[in-house]
């Protein structure tokens, strides 16, 4: 059975005043992940086709072409987990 862990390499807090969360997707899955997310989430803005500002089920985040995403204002870890499940599986 495919799980979120099959796509995610690491999850880290970003450094800075804003306590955002960065999700780093597995390198060999990054193209698949970017395609899946862009299909499901709403693209609010694209910056040079490299950074995509997205919303999905009330959560706003930025996806990068290199297979990383920064999630802002998450309530807790379980909210992130649920969003990733809905986006990736």
Partner 1 sequence: MLDPYKIREDFPILKRKINNYPLIYFDNAATSQKPRQVIEAIKNFYENHNANVHRAIHTLSQEASELYENAHEEVAKLINANGMEEIIFVRGTTEAINLVAYAWGLRNLRKSDEVLVSLMEHHSNIVPWEFLSKTNGFNVKYVDVNSDGTLNYEDFENKIFDKTKIVCVSHVSNVSGVVNDVERLAKVAHEHGALILVDGAQSVPHLTVDVKDLDVDFLAFSGHKMLGPTGIGVLYGKREILEKMEPFHGGGEMIREVSFNLTTKRCSITWNDLPWKFEAGTPNISGGIGLMEAVKYLREIGMENVQSHECMLTKYALQHMQECQKIRIYGPKDASVKCGIIPFGVDDLSSHDVALFLDNYGIMVRSGFHCAQPLHEIFKLKSSARVSFYVYNVCEEIDRFIEVLKGIE
Binding residues (CB under 8 A) for partner 1: these are 14-18, 20, 22, 47-48, 50-51, 62, 64-66, 68, 70
- Alpha-carbon gap, residue 11 to 48, rounded angstroms: 25
Name the residue nearer to partner 1 (CB basis): 28 or 78.
28
CB of 2 to partner 1, least distance (A): 26
Q: And the tokens for 37?
A: 């997310």
Q: Are 7 and 85 in contact (CB under 8 A)?
A: no
Name the residue nearer to partner 1 (CB basis): 29 or 68.
68
């Amino acid at each position: 059975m495919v799980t979120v862990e099959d796509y995610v390499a690491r999850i880290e807090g970003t450094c800075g005043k804003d306590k955002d969360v960065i999700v780093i997707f597995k390198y060999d899955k990054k193209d698949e992940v970017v395609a899946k997310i862009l299909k499901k989430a709403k693209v609010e803005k694209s910056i040079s086709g490299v950074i995509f500002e997205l919303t999905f089920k009330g959560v706003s985040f930025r996806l990068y072409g290199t297979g990383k995403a920064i999630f802002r204002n998450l309530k807790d870890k379980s909210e992130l987990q649920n969003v990733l499940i809905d986006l990736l599986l």
